[in-house]
Amino acid sequence: MPFVPVPKTIACDVIAELFGQVIENTLYFAFPDEPLISEVAQLSSSVAEWAVGALCPVLSEDYIYKRTEARGIWDQAQPAITNVVGTNTPGAVASPGAPGGTCIAVSFRTAYGGRSYRGRNFVSGFPLNACEGNQLATAYASGIVEAYEALVPDYVADDLPNAVHVVASRFSLGAPRVTGITTPINAYLMVNRDLDSQRRRLTGRGN
């Protein structure tokens, strides 16, 4: 698969373990100018603080946050910073976690429709006692959305006021773009509370 550069953009991978399996979600941030290495480092720190301070509190004790990896993606030879502050922080909910392949989709919305302008994270590690049949409980689902809503105003904006959480698109109609595009996110939501699945997060299937 060819590398598709995304101008002035940093990708942050939030990496955790659940029942011995590695799980990760990626967040993209665009800047008005090409980011400095110090900004890559700060972003890795800010997102790590969010993972520990906002995400872990709503997840099961079986979820273990490990690290955040931030890398410039405007070309292949760009800085990559790993932040391990808070490593091995467990989720704060004292309840067994749902199976690793079970997840819920948090949708990232922009001012535009279509696949190139919408993103999402698949969140695993929520507690079993938050499940109602094949759905998440309403109040619990709201707590996950609220954790994402806190990402920029409570954790990123103070240190990196120019960083914008974006949807990054590297493909169009199934083909790689010459240059990726970014679109600012203006809302976080769950389209529904139905439980999804990620096969690669099952034991022995993923990393």
Task: List the one residue out of 11, 7, 29, 45 whose CA is nearest residue 162.
Answer: 29
Looking at the domain assignment, is residue 48 inside a domain? yes
Looking at the domain assignment, is residue 207 inside a domain? no
Looking at the domain assignment, is residue 174 inside a domain? yes
| pLDDT surpassing 70 at residue 204 | no
Is residue 35 within 8 Å of residue 72, measured between CB atoms?
yes
Looking at the domain assignment, is residue 51 inside a domain? yes
Looking at the domain assignment, is residue 206 inside a domain? no
Task: List the one residue out of 168, 167, 165, 184 whose CA is nearest residue 176.
Answer: 168
Looking at the domain assignment, is residue 90 inside a domain? yes
- Looking at residue 207, what is its pLDDT? 56
Instruction: Please write the tens of the pLDDT for every residue from 87-96.
Output: 999 999 999 9
- Looking at residue 12, what is its pLDDT? 98
The position carrying tokens 């034991």 is 203
Looking at the domain assignment, is residue 3 inside a domain? no
- Mean of the per-residue pLDDT values of the chain: 93
* Number of domains comprising the chain: 1
Q: What is the largest CA-CA distance in the chain?
A: 47
Instruction: Please write the tens of the pLDDT for every residue from 88-126.
Output: 999 999 999 999 889 999 999 999 999 899 999 999 999
Looking at the domain assignment, is residue 4 inside a domain? no
Per DSSP, helices labelled H in the chain are 37-50, 138-149
**Distance, CA of 127 to chain centre:** 19
Q: Which domain holds residue 18?
A: 9-201
Query: How long a stretch of residues is the chain?
Result: 207
Per DSSP, helices labelled H in 16-109 are 37-50
- Looking at residue 205, what is its pLDDT? 62
